[in-house]
C-alpha cells in the first residue's frame, strides 16, 4: 500500500513568514494529493488538493507543488497568521476508497 512520509513534525514561524511542509509518497500510481488542516478539538478539513496532471496549485496564501518524478509534494503557506496555527496532514490514496495520511505537522505561528 501507499506509504506517506511527512516532515517536519513541528514547525514554528513568526507571523508574516512563510511555512513549508513536505511529503513523500511511495506509489508512483498515486494521482491525488490533498492537504488537511486540523484545529484543536475539530476534525480535519481539506484546505487544498492537487491532482497528478498539474505541478502547482494556488489558493490565496496557500499553494501546493507536486513533483511526480521525485514523488514528493509540498504545502506552502505565505504571510502566515496566528489562525494558521494547527496540525497539517498530507495524504495520498491507499488501495481504493481511503486516504493514507502523513503523521502530521504541528504549525505554530507566533505574533
Provide the binding-site residues for another protein, judged by CB under 8 A.
31-32, 34, 36, 38, 41-46, 49, 51, 87, 89, 92-101, 103-104, 106
Cα torsion through 28, 30, 33, 36, rounded to 10? -110
Q: CA–CA separation, 12 vs 47, rounded Å?
A: 20
**By the 8 A CB rule, do 20 and 105 touch?**
no
Q: CA–CA separation, 39 vs 24, rounded Å?
A: 23
Rounded least distance, CB 16 to another protein, Å: 26
Query: Which residue lies nearer to another protein by CB, 78 or 99?
Result: 99
Rounded least distance, CB 63 to another protein, Å: 18
Query: Which residue lies nearer to another protein by CB, 61 or 103?
Result: 103
Amino acid at each position: 500500500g501507499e506509504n506517506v512520509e511527512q516532515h517536519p513534525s513541528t514547525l514554528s514561524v513568526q507571523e508574516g513568514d512563510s511555512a513549508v511542509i513536505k511529503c513523500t509518497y511511495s506509489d508512483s500510481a498515486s494521482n491525488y494529493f490533498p492537504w488537511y488542516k486540523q484545529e484543536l478539538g475539530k476534525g480535519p478539513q481539506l484546505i487544498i488538493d492537487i491532482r497528478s496532471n498539474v505541478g502547482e496549485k494556488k489558493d490565496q496564501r496557500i499553494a501546493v507543488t507536486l513533483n511526480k518524478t521525485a514523488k514528493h509534494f509540498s504545502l506552502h503557506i505565505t504571510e502566515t497568521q496566528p489562525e494558521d496555527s494547527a496540525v497539517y496532514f498530507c495524504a495520498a490514496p491507499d488501495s481504493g476508497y481511503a486516504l493514507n495520511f502523513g503523521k502530521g505537522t504541528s504549525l505554530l505561528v507566533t505574533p
